Structure formats: C-alpha cells, structure tokens
Amino acid sequence: MTHSLPHQWLIEQHRLGHALCIVLDCENERPMRQTLLESSRPDKYLSVYGQTTVADLDDAGPFVFTFDQPNDRNINKLLKRPYSHWGWLASVPKGYLPMLVEHWRERLIIGKPPHQALYRFHDNRVLARALKYLPVEAYPAYLGPAISVCYWQGTGWESTDNPCPDKHPVPDSPPWLQAPAPPWQTMETRLINARRFLLAEHVQVYAKLAERQDPDGWLRTTLNQAQVWNWQAPEQLAFLLTQSLQAPAHSLASHWQARSGESPDEHFERVRLTAEFWQGEAPL
C-alpha cells in the first residue's frame, strides 16, 4: 500500500505518547476542513492566519488539527491521495498545538515592506524541498516544537525527525528561504499576494469581476502576461492588475503590447506614462 509509511509513522508517534497533527491546506481542502471542524473540539484546531496581519485570508489559509487515533478515517482519506498536496503530518508533545501554530505564524511573512510575501509552509512540496536543502542542524529552527514530520515528497512518503524540538527564534537570514523555488511555487505565491492586494485595495471592482468570470482564472492569466513581459517588480504587478481590472471588459488596449527592441523597464514606463496621460494625471 502506498500509504503504509504514514500509517506506521502515525502508530509509532502515538505509541510514544505524542499528539498527532495535520497541517491542512484549506484553500484546496474546504470540504475536509469542514468535516474536521465538525468532528473536533475547539481546543483541537487553530487557524494559522487568524490573529495575524493576513487574517483577511483566513478562509483560504492553513489550519492545524490534532487527532487522537492513528487510524482516523478522515486522515486515511487524505493519505490515499497524497498527489493532491493537501499538507503534511506532524507530531508534537501533548498540549503543544498553540506553540506549533505560533511557530509558523512567526515565519509566515517573508521579506520587508513593500516586498513582502507569504511563506507556503503548509504545502508539502515546500516542506519537502526545505528539508532536502537544509542541514540537520537547521531543522530545529525550521520545525520548532514538531518532534517529527511525515510528508509526500513527490514520488513517495518520507519522515524527518527534529533533533531538538522546542521553541526557537527565527534566524536573521532563515536558511530555508534560500532553497530554490520551482516555477509553480513562484506563481502560487504571486497569486496569493495578488489576491490579497485586490481584496485590500480594489475589493468592489474585484467582486464585480467575480460575478462575470472566475477570478482566479483571470488572475492567473494576468500574472502569466506579467511573466511574458518580465514585469516582476511589485509596483509593475500592482499596476498591471489595477489597469487590467479597470479596463473595458478587463481587456487591455493594443498599445500595451511590448514593442520590438523594448526592454521590460522601457515597456513598463511607456505604458505607465500613457495610462497616466489618458487618466489626466501626467503630460504625454
């Protein structure tokens, strides 16, 4: 059975008297989150984004649940489909759920204003990549109070033990942020940050767009266009998102296309000045 390792891991961690946890990516697992919420006492789960500066994304953010039995049927359902990237498993000392959640809250926002982003620790691919990259001595600062973790790493299950589970400060330069990010992760991070920006700054127009088309589909298309033009700076992405949202039928005029021999910065500056002129903000 493809999920025998996680079952063995769960049985062993339970035998050692540890609390069993699941870090659940709720953006893609809302039905499972609801099922777990309905079957869990209030002290058995926490929202990671709650009580943070990204609490507005709470509904799409990760939750951490503790469960009592290694053969929990809801957890078993997830173990049968690791390829859906629902999250990962952890064990902690009993009563340490709040400490585990606080540990990840402290590592959630990366970068400095205005170039901040969310660290997708709850994605098993992110966890697997970090643990493959990090030396063992860096595990405690990364895993915090987690005694052990079990996760799908793309081709099979893996478990990693923490040599010093406890509360640890965030390093000045977290080494896990140096692990190279694959294209899918970069796009998912941009998608989350773009959604957050629009909900904070243009929520009414964004809500109207959502009435007519799939907002995530529109966001991905717009961010793909930014990638084609090599507009990756936050101000470039914000400008493209805002102008695309406000354009008739959310379709940009032909002059937005890059010209032959035009660098990404020259392209951006030309389009920005043209947009300001037509909006009466600058001379052409």
SS3 assignment, position 242: helix
Residue 32 in tokens: 């499972």
Counting Cα atoms < 13 Å in the Cβ hemisphere of 173 gives: 2
For position 186, what pLDDT does the model report?
Answer: 77
- Asked if residues 26 and 63 have their Cβ atoms less than 8 Å apart, the reply is yes
For position 181, what pLDDT does the model report?
Answer: 73
For position 113, what pLDDT does the model report?
Answer: 78
Residue 273 in tokens: 């000045």
- Distance (Å) of CA 236 to CA 192, 222, 227: 16, 12, 11
Cα gap 38→85, rounded to integer Å: 22
Closest CA to 215 of 194, 237, 232, 235: 194
For position 164, what pLDDT does the model report?
Answer: 98
Each residue's pLDDT tens digit in the chain (284 positions)?
345 899 999 999 999 999 999 999 998 899 999 999 999 999 999 999 999 999 999 888 999 999 999 999 999 999 999 999 999 999 999 999 999 999 999 999 998 877 788 999 999 999 999 999 999 999 999 999 999 999 999 899 999 999 999 999 999 999 999 987 777 777 888 888 898 889 888 999 999 988 989 998 999 999 999 999 999 888 899 999 999 998 887 778 888 999 999 999 999 999 999 888 877 654 43
Place of tokens 């709470």: 58
- Asked if residues 190 and 197 have their Cβ atoms less than 8 Å apart, the reply is no
Burial (CB count <10 Å: 0-12, 13-18, 19+), residue 230: middle
For position 280, what pLDDT does the model report?
Answer: 62
- Give residue limits of the domains in the chain: 4-177, 184-278
Q: In this structure, what are the phi and psi dihedrals at residue 231, rounded to the nearest 5 degrees?
A: -100, 100
